[in-house]
Chains A and B, each alone.
Chain A
Amino acid sequence: MSEMLGTEIAHAAGFIANETPRIVTARFDYEDSFTLERYEITGGYQALRKALQQAPEDVHKEVTNATLLGRGGAGFPAGVKWGFCPPGVWPRYLVVNGDESEPGTYKDRLLMELDPHQLIEGCLIACYAVGLSQCFLYVRGEMAVAQERIARALNDAYEAGYIGRNILGSHFSVDIVLHWGAGAYVVGEETALIESLEGNRGMPRLKPPYFPASIGLYGQPTIVNNVETLSNLPWIIDNGADAFTNIGTETSPGTRMVAVSGHVKRPGVYEIVNGTTTFRDLLYGQDMCGGIRDDNQLKAFVPGGGSAPWFTPDQLDLPFEASQVGPQGSMLGSGAIMVMDETTDIPAAALTLTKFYAHESCGKCVPCREGGTWLEQILRRVVDGRGSRRDLDLLIEVGETICPGDFPHAAVPSKGIEAKPFPYKMTTICFVGPSAFAPIHSALTLFREEFEAKVAGNDDRVLIEVPVNV
C-alpha cells in the first residue's frame, strides 16, 4: 500500500489507538481502510440506506438529538446549524471544510486520507437531511494524499451509485465536487472558504449575516461543516442518537479526535471520549501519550489549536468539555494539543505561533494586517535580546487594539494569577487577528519572568531600529 500512501509526511504522527469507543476511527486499523471494498465490508453505506428509508426531517432530528457539536473549532451543534436555512429558499449547498490548517491540527487529514468514504457517506446523509443536492468538498491545497484518496473514493462511489442521480434507487440525487484549496490559513474560516470556492480572494465576509446558512455560497443558503463532524454521521444514523449521547457527557456527547504534538512520548491523533477525558488522561495516560518526553516536567500546553490561550499543569485535570474549559480561560477549538516541557523557550514558542498568524493574515482588516506583523516584530526583538521592558508592555498594548478589554488566560495559583474566562472582544473581522495575540498574551501573562530575563540589562534603552540597507 505504500505507493498509495504517497510520500510520508514527516511532521505529522499517525493515529494511535486506545481503549475508548471508536466512532470515526474504527477502520483506521486496516491498511486498505480508504478503499470502497473495505468500507463496504465494514458496514459502509448502511447508514445511508437506513437514512434513505426515513423522512429527511427524522434524520435531521436524529442528528439534533445526538447534540453533535461541530468539530472545527467553534463547537456549534450541527443539527441546530442545519436548522438555520431559511425555509423555501433553493438551491442550498453543503460545503465541507477540509481546509484544516490550524497549527497543530491534523485529525481531519487522517480522516480524509484513511476513511474518505465515511466522510462521503456523512455528506450524503447531511444532504439528505437538509435537502441539498450539491456538495462541495474543499480540501486544503497541501494535502495531496487526501485529495488523491478522496478523488478516488468519489469516483468509486459514483460508480457504485452512492453519489449521483437517484442514489440507491431513491429519488435522492446529490453531486459532490472536490475542490482543492490554494493553501491559505484564513480559508479555514467558513466565509473565507466560501469566497475562495466562488473563485474570489479568500477573505472573510463581514458579519452579519453570522451564519452562511442564511446567505452563503453564491448568495444561497449554505451549510458549512467540518470533516470530523460529518464523519460522525454514519455512526449516529447506524447506532442512533441515544447510543451517541451515551458516550461522553450530556453537553459534549460522543468522542472527538485530538491531535497531540510536542514534547510527549507518543505524539499522534487520539480518539477520546468527549466531556469526561481530562488533559491529564490524554497526556499522561499509558494508552495515550504516555507522559512527557524524557520524563521532564510539563511547562505549558495549548489546549485547542494555535489560536487558543495556553494552559499550565494547573489545568491538567480539566475535561474536554467546552463549558469547563471556557471559564478557565481557553477553548477546545480544533482539538490540537501542543505540549511544551520545561526545556521550552516560552518567548520563542510564542514567536513561532505569532509569526504564523501574522503571515497568514489575509490583509483585509487593519488590526490584523498591521497589528499582527508589528507584534511579531516586537516579539522578535525581545526574543533576540534586543528588546526592552517597555516592549513587554507594548506587546500587550498593541494586542489590546486588536482585542480590547480583558483577554482570556488561565489561572496560575502559585503566581497569584486568576483566570479570565473566554471569549474575548475584537476589532477585527475574523479570528486570525486575535490568534496572533493569543500566544503572546498567554506566554507573557503566565511566564513574564522569562521575557524579563530576555530584556534584562536593556531596561531603559530606547531602541530605534535602523535599517541595514537603505
Chain B
Amino acid sequence: MSDSVPNEVSVNINGAEVRAKAGEMLIAAADRAGVHIPRFCYHERMSSVGMCRMCLVDVDTGRGPMLQPSCMVPVAEGMSVDTQSEDTKRAQEGILEFLLVNHPLDCPVCDKGGECPLQDQTMAYGPGESRFVEEKRHYEKPIPISDLVHLDRERCILCDRCTRFADEIAGDPLIHFTERGNSTQVLTFPDEPFSSYFSGNTVQICPVGALTAAPYRFKARPWDLDQVESTCTTCSMGCRTAVQSSRNELVRYLGVDIESVNHGWLCDKGRFNFEATNSEERLTVPLIRDPNDERQLLGSDWGSALANAAEAILDAGSDGIGIIGGSRLTNEDAYAWSKLARSIIRTDNLDAQLGDGLPAELVHSLPPATIADACEADTVLVVGPDLKEELAILHLRLRGAATKGHTKVVEINAAPSGCEPYVERAIRCGSGEAAKYLGEILNSDDDLATRLREGSVVAVVGRSSMAESDHSSIAVAALIRDELPHATFLTALRRGNVRGALDMGLAPGVLPGRTAIDNPSSALDDIWGYTPSMKGLDTTGMLQAAAEGKIRTLVLLGADPLSDFPDRNLAAEAIQRAETVISLDNFLTASSAQADIILPTTAYGEQGGTTTNLEGRISRLTQKITPPGSVRDDWMIATELAWRLGGDLNLTSKEQIWREIEQVAPSHAGVTVERIMSEEAREGILVQESSVEYIFPSVQEPPIADGYGLRLISGRKLWDASTTTSMSPSLRPLAEAPVLKVHPTDLQRLGILSGSDVRVISTRSTENLKAVADESLERGTALLPFNQPGFGANRFIDATAAVNDIRIETL
C-alpha cells in the first residue's frame, strides 16, 4: 500500500485503514470499505444536506472524537472514525426515537412496509422501545400531489430527498417544505401539481412510505415480489431497471443505478407502462379476417394463421413484399426477421424505422459517442427532437452535466424545447434550416464557434420535427462532419430497440453487424446462403409502392404506420391497397385492426434476449412473467414462417441466435453469450465498430413559406397516444388533447381568438382544431404535437415534402 497516491487519503474506519478519494464524503468512503453507516437523507447521486442526522459518527481529526454527520464531512488524511462507539450508538438510537415520535407506524397498510429503510434501520439501530406517549402529528392521509404520486405527510420524515431530486436532478422544483418546526411538511404549490416527467423517482428514493405511486398502490407487499434485472425499452436510452412481479403480474419497475446510462433514474413513462403488459386488451390468440365479412376478425389457431401468412408471402413474390417495423423487437427477434426476409423471402424491402428516423447508413457511419462522452464534452450540440419529451433520461443526464459539470449545451431548434432551462444558448432556427444556422455560427467570430472548433463536441442529432424530411438532419450531420471533424455523435432515435434493429439489418441496404448489403461477411454468406444484392425500399418507399399496388403483402412488425408514419394518408392508402397485411403485435392498434392476419407476440417483461441503446450499448432483457394466451416470440414466428416457406432458419433459441449473430455480425464479434450473461453486461457492452459508409446526398434548402402559410412543426410528447401509454390506465389520462400553437401576432392577423377552433388546411387534409396563442414560437410557424389522443399531426404531413405548411381559417 503506497502512501503517495495522488488525490488519495488514508482514513481509519473502525480500526481498519481505508484508502479514500480526497474530497469524498466520509459516508461514501465507508460504503466502499463495507462499513454501513445508517442514513436517510444522504443519496449518492444528490448533494448532501445533513438533515436527518442519522449518519452521525465519532470523527477524530486529532482534537478528540466528535459526533459529525458523515455525509457532510469530507475525508481527511489521518482521520479516525468510529461508527460503533457508545456516543454514536446513543445518537443513532436518539435520532430514530425522534423520527418515530411522529411517524404513524401504519406499516401494515404502507406500501413501503417490508422494504422500508426506516423499518430496517429501526430494527438495526433503534432503541427498541419508544418513550413517546403523546398524540402524533396528524394530516389528511394521502393527498395526490400529481396523477401518479400520493403524499402521506404523516409518514414523511422530511429528509429532503424528493424535494432535492425535484430541484437538483429533475429541474422541476414543484415540491418544497412549507411551515416550520413541528408542522414542517412537504407540499406542492397551491393549485400546481407535481407534474414532473420524473415524479416516480421520488417514490423510489423516499426512505419511508410518504410518497407512493398510484399504479403500485396496494398492489403487492414487498415480500411477495419477484424481481429480475432488465433493460427498459420504452425509448432507446436503455435504462437499467428492476422488473418486479407478483403472481405473474408485473407490478413495479425500479431504476437500477448504472454509471453509464441512467444513474438509477427512470422517466415516469418507462416506470409505469408495465400496466400495458398486464392490459386486458392484449391479443392472446391469432386473428384472421373473416372471409365472409370484411369487418370481422375471427379468433384462429397458429397453424391456420401462419399458413395463411405464408401463402400471402409466397403469392406476393420477393418484390411484392414489404416488411415494416421491428424496433420493438429484441436483437435476436430482429436478426431472425432480417434473416427470414433476406435469405428466405429474398427481399431487401425492410425497415425498422417509420420514416421518422435517420437513414441506417448515416447512423452506422457517424463517429459514435457515448452518453458519458456527452456529459464530459465541452459542448453538446443538440439538433434534434425535444429530448425532454422523447429521450427523457438523456435530457436528465445532459441537464446534470450542464448544471453541475463544465459541459455547455447548445440547442438549435425550430420550436422551444424542454432543455431550454439549462442550455447555454438556444438558437431558434426555421424549420428544416438548422444546418444553415449552424453554418452561420461556425463561420462567425462568436465564442461559441471557437469553442466548437477547439473544444470537444458531442452532437446529438435526430429529427427535430416530423413535418420536415430527414434531409434537414442529414445536412446538419454533414456540416458537423465536415466542419468539426473531431465531433462525435449520438443519434437521437427514439424507438425502443431501433439501434439494435438497424444493427441486425432491419433496414434496406444494411446487413447484420453494420455492413453494407454489397459487403456481407463471409460467415454471413456461408450461413445465410443468399443475400439480395440490390438495396430495397425504406418505409416511405414501401408504403408508396403498396399504394401503387406494387407491393401486395405488407408485414407490420409491431409497427403502426397509421399512427406513427408522418404521412397518415399515404399509410392509409397503402394498407387499404395491399392485398394482405400481416401484423405482429401486442394490441389491436389503428393499423393492426386493419390487418388481415394478426399474430400476437410477447410483450416487455415476457421475453428475454438483448437490446441495444442509442449509443450501441448491448444489455440484457430478462423475462419475468409467463405470457398470456398462446402468444409467441417474434423469432419463433419467423422460424415457423420460414419452414412454411420451404426454408429453415436453423434458429432454436435466443441464446443460439446470439451465437449466430456473434459469428456473422463483424461489429458484434467478441460479444459472446458468456459476456452477455456476465456481470459486465449490467453496464452494457458497448459496440461501436462499423464498416458502413454513407454518401451524403446534396440537400436543397427548404422552400420559403408563402405569406399565408404557417410552417408546421411537429414533435412527440412524452405523454402521447402511443400504444403503451394508451394501454396503461394510469398514464392514458396524462396525454392531453392536441392544440395547435401559433404566435399571437399570426392569430391576430387572421382575426382568430386564442382558444377557439380553427380550420386547418394542408395539402393532405383539412381538419378542425383548437388554436392557442404561444409567444415562445417564432412568427410564421405552427406547433402541433405529433400523436396526441384523438388527433395526430400526421394527417397534415406529406412525407415526400422537405417541409410542410398549413393554413388556418376561422370557422
- A binding-site residues for B, Cβ under 8 Å: 184, 186, 201, 206, 358-367, 369-374, 377-378, 381, 394, 397-398, 400-401, 404-405, 425, 427-429, 462-467
Contact = CB atoms under 8 A, between A and B. Distances in A.
Contacts, number: 107
B182 A427 contact: no
A427 B88 CA distance: 10
Contacts of A364: 51, 158, 184
A355 to B, nearest CB: 10
Contacts of A378: 134
Contact of A371 (B51, B98, B131): B98
A201 B176 contact: yes
A370 B134 CA distance: 12
B180 interface: yes
Nearest to A465: B134
B99 A366 contact: yes
A204 to B, nearest CB: 10
23 contacts: A186-B180, A201-B176, A206-B48, A206-B49, A359-B180, A359-B181, A361-B180, A363-B182, A364-B51, A366-B51, A366-B53, A366-B54, A366-B98, A366-B158, A367-B95, A374-B98, A400-B90, A400-B94, A401-B91, A404-B91, A463-B133, A464-B133, A467-B135
B87 interface: yes
B49 A369 contact: no
Interface residues of B, number: 37
A340 to B, nearest CB: 26
Interface in B122-147: 131-135
B562 to A, nearest CB: 50
Contact of B66 (A360, A367, A425): A425
B372 to A, nearest CB: 28
Given A358-B181, A427-B91, 12 more contacts: A359-B180, A361-B181, A365-B52, A367-B53, A367-B94, A369-B158, A381-B134, A394-B131, A427-B56, A427-B67, A464-B133, A466-B135
Interface string B45-74: 000111111101000000000110100100
Contacts of B102: 370
A362 B94 contact: no
B182 A369 contact: yes
A427 B180 contact: no
B242 interface: no
A427 B101 contact: no
Contacts of B98: 366-367, 370-371, 374, 401
Given A370-B102, A427-B56, A465-B134, A362 B90 contact: no
Contacts of A400: 90, 94
Interface string B163-182: 00000000000001101111
A363 B95 contact: no
Contacts of B90: 400-401, 404
Given A373-B182, A404-B91, A363 B50 contact: no
B132 A360 contact: no
A363 B158 contact: yes
B182 A358 contact: yes
Given A360-B180, A467-B135, A401 B95 contact: yes
* Shortest beta-carbon contacts, A-B, top 6: A363-B184, A401-B94, A370-B98, A373-B182, A361-B181, A467-B135
Nearest to A203: B177
Nearest to A206: B50
B176 A365 contact: no
A58 to B, nearest CB: 36
A364 B181 CA distance: 8
B79 to A, nearest CB: 14
Contacts of B157: 366
Contact of A361 (B72, B87, B132, B182): B182
Contacts of A361: 180-182
Contacts of B48: 206
A72 B356 CA distance: 66
B181 A373 contact: yes
B677 to A, nearest CB: 45
Given A367-B94, A369-B158, A374-B98, A362 B180 contact: yes
Interface string B17-54: 00000000000000000000000000000001111111
B634 interface: no
A206 B72 contact: yes
A209 to B, nearest CB: 11
Contact of A374 (B49, B50, B66, B101): B101
A427 B53 contact: yes
A365 B98 CA distance: 11
A360 B180 CA distance: 7
